Amino acid sequence: MANKKILIIEDEETLQKALTQYLEEENFEVFGAMDGEKGVEMVKKEKPDLVLLDIILPKKDGFKVLEEIKQNENTKNIPVILLTNLESIEDIQKAFDKGATTYLVKSEYKLEDIVKKINETLK
């Protein structure tokens, strides 16, 4: 069975790299985008099985990216996990209203737990 494709849209290079390495060790095929615009482009091009998306991003913020993924017929069924350090009720509500599958606060989650969430979502 082919490895599942994950797209990480995250502007912080260290976080992007750590996540990529861990996911590759878990046998995922990983792509990365450092800003929102590139992220939307990559979703359309690579059709990943799942997207990990930050909210504060250059060029286009995470909410806008999520909106565009969910409004496009070809990408609307791709699950999107929000991975951010914002945690106000308003942000969480907004993310779910726009179609996010899960909302995770980075500093509260170990990579191991993020992988668990990814596997649960891909089941």
Partner 1 sequence: MEFCKNKLKIKVEFINDLDLGKQAKDLGIKIWQTPSFLFIVFGFTAMIIMTATYFISKNYEDPSVLVISECLVVVVVFILEMLVTRFVEQITKLNRMKSEFVSIASHQLRTPLSAIKWETELMLKKFKKGLNKKQVKNIENIYAINQRMIHLVNDLLDVARIDQNRLILKKQKFNLVEIVKEVVAETVPKAKPRNIEISIYAKKKLPFVLGDAEKIRLVVDNLLDNAVKYTNSGGRIKIGIFKSNDSLIFEITDNGVGIPQEQVGRVFEKFFRSDNASRYQTDGTGLGLYIAKNIIEQLDGKIWFQSIENAGSVFSFSLPINKQ
Q: Which residues bind partner 1 (CB under 8 A)?
A: 12, 14-15, 18-19, 21-22, 25, 85-86, 88-89, 106-108, 110-112
Judged by DSSP in three states, 30 sits in strand
* Cα radius of gyration (the chain): 13
- From 90, 19, 4, select the one nearest 54 (Cα to Cα): 19
- Name which of 77 and 107 has its Cβ closer to partner 1: 107
Q: How far is the CB of 32 from partner 1 (least distance, A)?
A: 14
Owner of token pair 């849209």:
9
Q: How far is the CB of 80 from partner 1 (least distance, A)?
A: 19
For residue 2, the tally of other CB atoms under 10 A from its CB is: 6
Q: How far is the CB of 16 from partner 1 (least distance, A)?
A: 10
- Name which of 7 and 114 has its Cβ closer to partner 1: 114
